[in-house]
């Protein structure tokens, strides 16, 4: 998957201000040839060489797109990409060029690496696109539908991993996980009969990688951030709660017993349940 992705990367990112060196640097890091720290320095050199604020904005957008899109298209790259983002955050204050756009563009007084300026918006737009692409838009074929499902699932996994870092900027100040909770509602709170829920794997990834954060929200009784649609099964209140956490556990167990769930699906469910148990144990 990674080789195929990078073979087409130049054309994939042709409309963005992304250099071939940036693409090769990211590939080298994912292949273990250079460290995350070295990759961070190389990847950021192109934006830092911008001659105007407008150009800096475009190049920052290109870098965030390169990292975020790769994380979704190549699921195995997610941990390394998060390490690169963490390394970028440690870089020192950088130059902010003068010129076109300076009066209305904000680069956090030069601390645009520490603050990941523009990254959260870039990821929000991308995630919403992946969500609508699978959950709302019509697919051209079964093969297209499966590709969209994979992208949606990987986007949820990436979001969960980002939330698990505990870093406010990387977790989009909590809103990243908020957006992804729709997968939980789709998989666990809507009656699909014996049919495997479309978002089963996406929801399981959220529990697998961010159960502790989900459990923390439920224990705190956080009333905001849980996205729901037409909920046939959950009859409790809005938001997160102990009762909703228990309900999710019961639903995972119930789904595991349904005839329409594949063996692969049962394995995915088991990992979600194990993650929930680990979150509970860690809180004792």
pLDDT exceeds cutoff 90 at 86: yes
C-alpha to C-alpha distance for 2 and 73, rounded to whole angstroms: 8
Confidence of residue 9 (pLDDT cuts 50, 70, 90): very high
Instruction: Annotate 125-157 with b (16+ C-beta within 10 A) or e (fewer).
Output: ebbeebbebbbeeeeeeeeeeeebbbbbbbbbb
Please name the residue that has the structure tokens 């939980």: 184
pLDDT tens figures, 31-69: 999 999 999 999 999 999 999 999 999 999 999 999 999
Model pTM?
0.95
pLDDT tens figures, 156-168: 999 999 999 999 9
First to last CA, the chain: 40
C-alpha to C-alpha distance for 266 and 258, rounded to whole angstroms: 9
pLDDT tens figures, 202-221: 999 999 999 999 999 999 99
The pLDDT assigned to 55 comes to 95
pLDDT exceeds cutoff 80 at 284: no
pLDDT exceeds cutoff 90 at 177: yes
Confidence of residue 149 (pLDDT cuts 50, 70, 90): very high
Residue 50 burial (10 A CB sphere; 0-12, 13-18, 19+): buried
Please name the residue that has the structure tokens 């870089």: 91
C-alpha to C-alpha distance for 13 and 65, rounded to whole angstroms: 9
Neighbouring residues of 180: CB distance < 8 A, sequence distance ≥ 6: 127, 155, 156, 159, 160, 202, 206
C-alpha to C-alpha distance for 284 and 279, rounded to whole angstroms: 9
C-alpha to C-alpha distance for 108 and 103, rounded to whole angstroms: 13
């Amino acid at each position: 998957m990674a080789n195929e992705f990078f073979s087409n990367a130049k054309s994939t990112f042709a409309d963005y201000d992304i250099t071939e060196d940036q693409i090769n640097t990211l590939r080298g890091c994912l292949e273990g040839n250079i460290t995350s720290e070295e990759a961070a320095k190389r990847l950021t050199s192109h934006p830092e060489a911008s001659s105007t604020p407008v150009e800096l904005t475009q190049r920052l957008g290109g870098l965030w797109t390169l990292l975020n899109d790769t994380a979704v298209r190549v699921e195995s790259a997610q941990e390394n990409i998060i390490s690169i983002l963490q390394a970028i955050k440690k870089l020192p204050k950088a130059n902010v060029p003068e010129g076109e756009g300076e009066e209305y563009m904000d680069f956090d007084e030069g601390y645009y690496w520490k603050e990941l300026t523009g990254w959260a918006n870039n990821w929000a737009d991308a995630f919403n696109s992946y969500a609508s692409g699978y959950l709302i838009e019509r697919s051209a074929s079964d093969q297209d539908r499966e590709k969209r499902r994979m992208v949606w699932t990987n986007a949820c996994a990436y979001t969960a991993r980002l939330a698990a870092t505990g870093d406010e900027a990387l977790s989009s100040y909590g809103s990243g996980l908020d957006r992804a909770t729709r997968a939980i509602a789709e998989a666990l709170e809507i009656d699909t009969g014996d049919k495997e829920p479309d978002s089963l794997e996406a929801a399981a990834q959220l529990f697998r990688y961010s159960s502790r954060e989900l459990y923390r929200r439920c224990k705190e009784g956080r009333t905001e951030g849980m996205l729901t649609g037409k909920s046939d099964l959950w009859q409790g209140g809005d938001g997160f709660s102990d009762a909703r956490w228990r309900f999710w556990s019961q639903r995972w167990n119930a789904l595991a017993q349904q005839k329409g769930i594949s063996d692969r699906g049962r394995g995915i469910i088991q990992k979600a349940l194990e993650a929930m148990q680990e979150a509970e144990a860690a809180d004792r």
